[in-house]
Amino acid sequence: MRRIEEDYKYPIIIFIFVIIITAFIASFSLAYNPDKYQDTDGDGLTDYEEKAIYQTYWYDKDTDKDGYDDGVEVANGYSPKHPKLKMHEADTDNDGLNDKWEILLGANLMVRDTDGDGYLDGTEVYHGYSPTDPQPVKISKKIEINLAEFKLDFYIDNILMDTFPISAGKKNTPTPTGEFIITAKYPLKHYNYYPNAKWNLQFASLNGLNYYIHGAYWHDKFGEENLSGGCVNVKYEDMERLYIFSSVDTPVIIQ
């Protein structure tokens, strides 16, 4: 009887040992994805980043053939897929959401409807919904303006999407500080001697005066000097997407 027990003892031990080793190898394989560390083409982006995020060629250091390595372009804010375009200027899948914002929000810049719910990613973000969840999950938006640093930050779900240089109110016509909300959106407004200013977001009405965040075409002192009558001036190239994706009721914090 003891001989029979010994005959079964060692095969069982070996079997258990094999199971343990197999489980260890499987867990190690899941934890270690070589693509996350390997940079096959030596362009400064890992194979994982190229395949899963930027959708570039992991075996070719210059995907768009513009003379710059993919990693160099990404580090400087340019698209590695489209020559001469910044990431925010490119919309690879033509879904209305630029590539920079798609990546920040975890959407797929090659798929127009990342979550497969029947709505384009840009349409969902415009209306305040997540582009990565097929359920109607709302997203938050927020504008923060730092007058001392001449800058505006735009957030979606507490993710910093963009920072824009601004020009705010002069000393005798200061921009109001505090917490506000966007109350109205106007594609065109007339400001004194400057007609047809584009992309206007009204955030306050105080003492008979209306205050806006808006595009300004009549100066280029953004980030350098305050020249407005109390509004917040933004470059046209920046203001367009801020206007499009800001919603009425978007909080505006000015300090």
Is 37 inside any structural domain?
A: no
Closest-CA residue to 101 (of 47, 52, 155, 182): 155
Residue 255 has pLDDT above 60, yes or no: yes
Does residue 135 lie within any of the structural domains? no
Q: In the prediction, which pLDDT does 15 show?
A: 52
Q: How far apart are CA 235 and CA 243, in angstroms?
A: 12
Q: Distance of CA 18 to CAs 23, 30, 165, Å? A: 9, 18, 62
CATH number for the domain that contains residue 170: 2.40.440.10
Residue 210 lies in a domain: yes
The CA angle 146-150-153, to the nearest 5 degrees, is 55
- Distance CA(50)–CA(63), nearest Å, equals 10
Residue with tokens 């690879």: 92
Do 182 and 245 belong together in one domain? yes
pLDDT digits (tens, 9 = 90+) for 58-117: 999 999 999 999 999 999 999 999 999 999 999 999 999 999 999 999 999 999 999 999
Q: Are residues 115 and 152 in the same domain?
A: no
Q: Is there a single domain that holds both residue 213 and residue 246? A: yes
Residue ending a domain, among 64, 92, 126, is 126
Residues 226 and 152 occupy one common structural domain: yes
Q: Does the pLDDT of residue 32 top 60, yes or no?
A: no
Q: Which of 126, 150, 185 is the last residue of a domain?
A: 126
- 10 with 86, same domain: the answer is no
Domain boundary among 95, 126, 157: 126
Task: Answer yes or no: is 136 within a domain.
Answer: no
pTM, two decimal places = 0.84
Q: What is the pLDDT of residues 104-161, one digit of tens each?
A: 999 999 999 999 999 999 999 999 999 999 999 999 999 999 999 999 999 999 999 9
β partners of residue 143: 154, 252
> At CB < 8 A and 24+ separation, what contacts does 177-181 make?
177/147, 177/254, 177/255, 178/253, 178/254, 179/251, 179/252, 179/253, 179/254, 180/204, 180/251, 180/252, 180/253, 180/254, 181/248, 181/249, 181/250, 181/251, 181/252
CA 29 to chain centre: 31
pLDDT at 26 over 50: no
Mean pLDDT of the chain, nearest integer: 91
Q: Tokens for 105, please give them.
A: 């929000």
Q: Domain range spanning residue 22?
A: 1-32
* Residue 132 within any structural domain of the chain: no
**CA-CA-CA-CA dihedral for 157, 125, 242, 105, to nearest 10:** 50
Distance between CA atoms of residues 98 and 242, nearest Å: 12
**pLDDT band at residue 36 under the 50/70/90 scheme:** confident
Question: Of all helices (H) and strands (E), which one includes residue 196?
Answer: strand 194-206
Q: Cα(71)–Cα(40) distance, rounded to whole angstroms? A: 12
Same domain, 93 and 150: no
Other CB atoms within a 10 A radius of the CB of residue 25 amount to: 10
Measuring CA to CA, which residue among 236, 201, 209, 207 is closest to residue 222?
Answer: 236
